[in-house]
Chain A
Amino acid sequence: MTKDLNGSGKTLTVVALRLGERIFAIETSAVLEILAPIPVTRVPHGGAFAQGVINVRGGVVPLADLRVIFSIPKLPVDEDTRILVLQIPIENEQITVGITADEVLEVVTVDCDRIEPLPPAGTIWPADYVRGLIQGHEGITILPDLNTIFAAHIATANAL
Chain B
Amino acid sequence: MMDNDIAAVFLEEASELLESLEQGLLKLQADPNNLDLVNAAFRDLHTIKGSGAMFGFTELAAFIHKFETAFEKIRSGQIKVSASLIRVALRAADEIKGFLAGDAAMTPARQAILDDLEQAVSPGQAPVETPVSASDAGWRLCFRLASDALALGARPEALLDELRGLGAFNLVADLSRIAPLDQIETQACLLGWSTDLPASAREDDIKAVFMFHEGNMEFNLVNLAAPAPEAPASPLPLAESAGTGPQPAQQSATMRVPAERLDELMDQVGELVIAEARLCALANTSKDPSMMAAVEDIQRLASRMRDTTMSIRMVPISSIIGRFRRLVHDLSEGLGKSVNFVVTGADTELDKTVIERLGDPLVHIIRNAIDHGLETDEARAAAGKPDRGTIELSAEHLGAEVVISVKDNGRGLDRSKLRARAIEQGLLSPEATPSEAELFALILEPGFSTAAKVTELSGRGVGMDVVKRTVEGLRGRIVIASEPGHGTTFTLRLPLTLSIIDGLLVEVGGDRYIIPMAAVQEIVELPASDAGADTTSSFLQIRNALVPFLRLRTLLDCAEERNTLQNVIVVSASSMRVGLVVDRILGTNQTVVKQMSRLHAGVKSISGATILGDGSVALVLEVGNLVELARTDLRKIEKAA
Q: What distance in Å separates the Cβ of A88 from its nearest Cβ neighbour in chain B?
A: 10
Q: What distance in Å separates the Cβ of B421 from its nearest Cβ neighbour in chain A?
A: 23
Q: Which of A45, A90, A97 contacts B557 (CB 8 A)?
A: A45
Check B602 against A58 for contact (C-beta < 8 Å): no
> How far, in angstroms, from A54 to B557 measured CA to CA in the complex?
19
Is B453 on the interface with A (CB-CB < 8 A)?
no
Main secondary structure of the interface of B (DSSP, over half): mixed
Is B381 on the interface with A (CB-CB < 8 A)?
no
Convert B264-280 into 0s and 1s, putting 1 for each residue whose CB lies closer than 8 angstroms to a CB of A.
Answer: 00000001001000000
> How far, in angstroms, from A155 to B536 measured CA to CA in the complex?
31
Q: Which residues of B contact A160 (CB under 8 A)?
A: 601-604
> How far, in angstroms, from A62 to B512 measured CA to CA in the complex?
17
B552 and chain A: residue at smallest CB distance? A44
> How far, in angstroms, from A97 to B597 measured CA to CA in the complex?
9
Give residues of chain A (110-160) contacting chain B, Cβ–Cβ below 8 Å.
150, 153-154, 156-160
> How far, in angstroms, from A45 to B609 measured CA to CA in the complex?
15
Q: What distance in Å separates the Cβ of A40 from its nearest Cβ neighbour in chain B?
A: 8
Check A55 against B611 for contact (C-beta < 8 Å): yes
> How far, in angstroms, from A156 to B608 measured CA to CA in the complex?
19
> How far, in angstroms, from A154 to B602 measured CA to CA in the complex?
9
Check A43 against B600 for contact (C-beta < 8 Å): yes
Q: What distance in Å separates the Cβ of B618 from its nearest Cβ neighbour in chain A?
A: 7
Q: Which residues of A contact B512 (CB under 8 A)?
A: 41
Q: What distance in Å separates the Cβ of B474 from its nearest Cβ neighbour in chain A?
A: 15
Convert B607-641 into 0s and 1s, putting 1 for each residue whose CB lies closer than 8 angstroms to a CB of A.
Answer: 01111000111110000000000000000000000
How many residues of B are counted as interface, with CB atoms below 8 angstroms from the partner's CB atoms? 29
Q: Which residues of A contact B596 (CB under 8 A)?
A: 43, 53, 60, 62
The verdict on A157 contacting B599 (CB below 8 Å), with A42-B511, A43-B606 known, is yes
The verdict on A58 contacting B601 (CB below 8 Å), with A41-B616, A43-B619 known, is no
Q: Which residues of B contact A39 (CB under 8 A)?
A: 615-617
> How far, in angstroms, from A96 to B512 measured CA to CA in the complex?
23
Check B619 against A41 for contact (C-beta < 8 Å): yes
Give residues of chain B (587-607) contacting chain A, Cβ–Cβ below 8 Å.
594, 596-606
Q: Which of B271, B601, B605, B615 contacts A157 (CB 8 A)?
A: B601
- Measured CB to CB, the residues of B under 8 A from A are 271, 274, 511-512, 555-558, 594, 596-606, 608-611, 615-619
Please name the 9 residue pairs, one residue from A and one from B, whose CB atoms are nearest each other, closest first.
A160-B602, A157-B602, A41-B617, A44-B556, A60-B609, A62-B599, A62-B597, A50-B599, A60-B594
- Measured CB to CB, the residues of A under 8 A from B are 39, 41-47, 50, 53-55, 58-62, 64, 90, 95-97, 150, 153-154, 156-160
